Amino acid sequence: MLAPGAPVRVRDDWPETRGPCHIRTPHYLRGRRGTVVRQLGAFPNPEDLAFARPAPTLALYHVAFEPRSIWPDAGGDEIVVELYESWLEAA
Amino acid sequence: MTPLIEAPSERLLAGIKSLLASKGIATAEEIAERMAQTDRASPAQGARMVARAWTDPEYRALLLRDGAQAAEAMGIAMRGLPPLGVLENTDDTHNLVVCTLCSCYPRAVLGYPPFWFKSPGYRARAIRDPRGVLAEFGTVLPAGQRIRVVDSTADYRWMVLPQRPVGTDGWDADRLAALLREGDMIGVTVPSAA
């Protein structure tokens, strides 16, 4: 389990290039570094649910990102996104 | 046989309802009740929750801790629906909600989303240029207030708890609720007593 404040990196993975899939990780975050805000609970993996496959339960985290690390011209101060543990790696 | 796509929608609906009933998943009464609930949901429900949070510190704490429980406390049925998270606006931070992937929206407490919430333009721009989007809604934030954009991508639904407007001292919850618009609870606008 990831603690609040833990630095993480979103996997730089593009399953949509390999075939039909359902992804809840926005493309603009792939490969980006962020910081865990808190765990939001645990939910069946929607990537499996979407195809009626058995869906293991995954921890869901709120992760914060610095907008200007994604877009140099970004206008906000913080972006917070729900991400499943399967998409996060230690940074 | 008629292709499914060309079948009359009433017949399709009747077929699905009878399948759900015969498989023991949902009765006709349960489906009718959920349809009525969906139609009853409107921004007025979120407004009642916000106004109560402004006037009742214990309710405010509950709302921020567990939005679904706080909605239930106002008589809004949340069973079977996604958890509701509530984002508190403060002097330091303003929250803006977007779903860049599709259209996740706290329908149970705000009703159907406004048409622009699902538009590619709002979804692309709110995440990257929130101040520009707010300006188009006529919203200018105080200097120094940070903007946090919350991208609603997964199992939660998110609603904003706006700051209580100045000039509303002594107002009761009903009068406060009447000030609120759906945009205030998405974060594109802020309520005002003026």
Catalytic residues of B: 99, 102-104
The two tokens of residue B162 are 């706006």
Quick check: B151 and A24 CB within 8 A? no
Print the domain residue range for A14.
7-90
Per-residue pLDDT of chain B in tens (194 residues, 90 and over written 9): 678 778 899 999 899 999 999 999 999 999 998 888 888 899 999 999 999 999 999 999 999 999 999 999 999 989 889 999 999 999 999 999 999 998 899 999 999 999 999 999 999 999 999 999 999 999 999 999 999 999 999 999 999 999 999 999 999 999 999 999 999 999 999 999 97
Among the partner residues A41, A77, A81, nearest to B83 by beta-carbon distance: A41
What are the residue ranges spanned by the domains of chain B?
A: 7-39, 42-186
Cα dist from A82 to A42, B6, B60, B145, B155, whole Å: 11, 38, 23, 23, 8
Residue A45, domain member (yes or no): yes
Residue A1, domain member (yes or no): no
Per-residue model confidence (pLDDT) at position B34: 85
Quick check: B154 and A79 CB within 8 A? no
Coil, strand or helix: which one is A59?
A: strand
Q: What whole-number distance in Å separates Cα of residue B116 and Cα of residue A32?
A: 28
The two tokens of residue B146 are 């940070």
Q: pLDDT tens digit string along A9-55?
A: 999 999 999 999 999 999 999 999 999 999 999 999 999 999 999 99
The count of structural domains within chain A is: 1
Q: Report DSSP letters for chain B, one per residue.
A: ---GGGS-HHHHHHHHHHHHHHTTS--HHHHHHHHHHHHH--HHHHHHHHHHHHH-HHHHHHHHH-HHHHHHHTT---TTSPPEEEEE--SSEEEEEE-SSS----HHHH-SPPGGGGSHHHHHHHHH-HHHHHHHTT--PPTT-EEEEEE--SS-EEEEEPPPPTT-TT--HHHHHTT--HHHHHTSS-----
pTM of model > 0.90: yes
Q: Report DSSP letters for A14-44, one per residue.
A: -GGGTSS----S-GGGTT-EEEEEEEEEEEE
Residue A2, domain member (yes or no): no
* Closest by Cα among A68, A69, A61, A62 to A85: A61
Q: What whole-number distance in Å separates Cα of residue B81 and Cα of residue B160?
A: 18
Beta strands at B157-161 and A78-84: parallel, antiparallel or unpaired? unpaired
Cα of A29 to nearest chain B Cα, Å: 11
Residue A20, domain member (yes or no): yes
The strand pairing partners of A82, in sequence order, are A62
Q: Name every residue in B having a CB less than 8 A away from some CB of A.
A: 83, 85, 93, 96, 100-101, 127-132, 146-156
Return the CATH number of the domain spanning residue range B42-186.
3.90.330.10
Quick check: A78 and B96 CB within 8 A? no
Complex ipTM? 0.97
